[in-house]
């Protein structure tokens, strides 16, 4: 039986001689077949599989990204909702029931007030403070005829309105808001003080009916010209610092003015104030003023702040017998003889001269020389000397 099987296979192999090499493959044949098998596997492992893996990873990343965006969108919506709730919860943090209905003063300072509350219950209200809140406008809730003082400092008010009922108002503070125009004040005939500091006002106007005004403060705005204030004949204090004013003008009728404060403008001279004989304080620092000789009629001056200008000489000051403080630091005084012009001002007690040329040349003996020139002085710069 075994022999017959062998004969069968030999017969097949003889007939199909082309397959004879399968009986015992040569080593070269094995190498060729191995190469043909290994190379494709290697190419697949290096190129094909990473690409497939990368595509799969992209798909997974895209899915994750979609999920993340969906979660972020949900979170954003939740945050917006929470913020809206926070706004409602963290605004108007006050309770008017805490005030007696007969109170003359209601102080809602820093209470995050975003709308004027109903104050009609306070029949005797005279002073209302709404400082540092979130008011963007003024409503008719302010129609409180008994008010004499209204403080709206540091809000977000853009337009002055709804004040016509405040016929007894004497003090109005609208500083640090977003006001661009002075208006809505025509009914405030008894107003004595108005503060409009740090707004966006470009022109003085709207003060026609404020004939009783004593204090006008409009510093830190965008005003270029002094105008429409000549009728304010009761004005005692005028504050116009940090604007763009180039000269003093239209001040002739303000004969009761005692304080004129105009620092950080664009003044180069002091003409236009000769009629202001009642001045006791003059603040003109941080400009380009070269001389103080125009101060011939201001004999009542007690304070002059002319720091950081271009002053070289001290002429025109010898008649100021009531002068107590003079600020001349950061100027261009280079001659010690200029100080001798102030030696007869017996009321002079304080003088600032630091960072002038006379200070820079010899700082070690600077104070001693000032004391020799001005023996009546008790304070030099920020330091007492006697």
- E-only strand ranges, the chain: 105-107, 127-129, 149-151, 171-173, 193-195, 215-217, 237-239, 259-261, 281-283, 303-305, 325-327, 350-352, 379-380, 383-384
What confidence score (pLDDT) does residue 314 get? 95
pLDDT of residue 385: 86
> What percent of the chain has pLDDT above 90?
72
Q: Is 380 left (phi over 0), alpha (psi -120 to 50) or beta?
A: beta
Burial category of 65 from C-beta neighbours within 10 Å (exposed 0-12, middle 13-18, buried 19 and up): exposed
Q: Give the other-Cβ count within 10 Å of 275's Cβ.
A: 13
pLDDT for the residue numbered 35: 63
Q: pTM for the complete prediction?
A: 0.77
Spatial CA neighbour of 281 closest among 229, 241, 223: 241
Q: Which two tokens stand for residue 310?
A: 């271009």
Q: How confident is the model at residue 264 (pLDDT cuts 50, 70, 90)?
A: very high
Under 8 Å between Cβ of 122 and 147: no
Is residue 282 within 8 Å of residue 305, measured between CB atoms? yes
Phi, psi at 213, each rounded to 5°: -65, 135
For the chain, give the mean pLDDT: 87
Residue 61 pLDDT grade (very low, low, confident, very high; cuts 50, 70, 90): low
DSSP one-letter code for 21: G
What is the pLDDT confidence band of residue 249, given thresholds at 50, 70 and 90? very high
Over residues 256-268, mean pLDDT: 98
Distances (CA, A) of 224 to 190, 192, 307, 382: 28, 24, 22, 33
How far is residue 73 from each of residues 60, 64, 70, 76, measured CA to CA in Å?
Answer: 20, 14, 5, 5
Give the pLDDT confidence score for residue 17 in this predicted structure.
Answer: 54
* Residues shown for the chain: 386
* Of the listed ranges 50-59, 160-169, 266-275, the one predicted with least confidence: 50-59
Residue 59 or residue 255, greater confidence: 255
The 3-state DSSP class for residue 235 equals coil
**Cβ partners under 8 Å of residue 230, min gap 6:** 250, 251, 252, 253, 254
pLDDT in tens, 108-136: 999 999 999 999 999 999 999 999 999 99
Where residue 164 falls (left for φ over 0; alpha for ψ -120 to 50; beta otherwise) is alpha
Structure tokens at 67: 């999920």
pLDDT for 55 equals: 60
Write down the pLDDT at residue 319. Answer: 93
What structural domains and CATH numbers belong to the chain?
Answer: 79-212 (3.80.10.10)
Spatial separation of the C-alpha atoms in residues 76 and 73, rounded to whole Å: 5
For 321, the 3-state DSSP assignment is: coil
Band of residue 351 on the pLDDT scale cut at 50, 70, 90: very high
Distance CA 286, CA 266 (A): 9
Q: 53 pLDDT band (50/70/90 cuts)?
A: low
């Amino acid at each position: 039986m075994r022999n017959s099987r062998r004969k069968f296979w030999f017969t097949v192999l003889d007939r199909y001689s082309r397959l004879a090499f399968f009986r015992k493959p040569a080593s070269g044949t094995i190498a060729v077949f191995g190469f043909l098998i290994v190379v494709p596997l290697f190419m697949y492992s290096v190129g094909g599989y990473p690409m497939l893996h990368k595509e799969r990873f992209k798909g997974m990343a895209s899915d994750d990204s979609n999920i993340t965006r969906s979660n972020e969108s949900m979170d954003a919506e939740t945050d917006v909702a929470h913020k809206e709730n926070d706004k409602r919860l963290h605004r108007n943090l006050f309770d008017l029931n805490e005030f007696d209905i007969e109170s003359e003063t209601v102080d809602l300072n820093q209470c995050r007030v975003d709308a004027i509350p109903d104050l009609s219950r306070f029949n005797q209200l005279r002073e209302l403070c709404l400082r540092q809140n979130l008011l963007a406008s003024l409503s008719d809730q302010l129609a409180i005829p008994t008010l004499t003082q209204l403080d709206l400092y540091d809000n977000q008010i853009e337009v002055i309105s709804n004040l016509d009922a405040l016929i007894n108002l004497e003090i109005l503070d609208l500083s640090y808001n977003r006001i661009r125009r002075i208006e809505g004040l025509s009914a405030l005939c008894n107003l004595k003080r108005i503060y409009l500091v740090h707004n966006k006002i470009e022109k003085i106007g709207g003060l026609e009916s404020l004939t009783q005004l004593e204090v006008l403060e409009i510093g830190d705005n965008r005003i270029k010209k002094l105008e429409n204030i000549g009728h304010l004949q009761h004005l005692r204090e005028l504050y116009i610092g940090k604007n763009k004013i180039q000269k003093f003008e239209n001040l002739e009728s303000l004969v009761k003015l005692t304080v004129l404060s105009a620092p950080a403008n664009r003044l180069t001279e002091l003409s236009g104030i000769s009629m202001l004989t009642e001045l006791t304080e003059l603040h003109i620092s941080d400009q380009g003023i070269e001389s103080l000789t125009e101060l011939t009629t201001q004999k009542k001056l007690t304070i002059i702040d002319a720091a950081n200008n271009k002053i070289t000489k001290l002429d025109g000051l010898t008649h100021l017998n009531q002068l107590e403080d003079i600020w001349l630091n950061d100027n261009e005084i280079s001659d010690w003889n200029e100080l001798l012009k102030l030696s007869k001002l017996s009321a002079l007690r304080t003088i600032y001269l630091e960072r002038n040329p006379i200070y820079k040349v010899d700082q070690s003996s600077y104070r001693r020389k000032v004391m020799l020139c001005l023996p009546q002085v008790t304070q030099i710069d920020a330091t007492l000397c006697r």
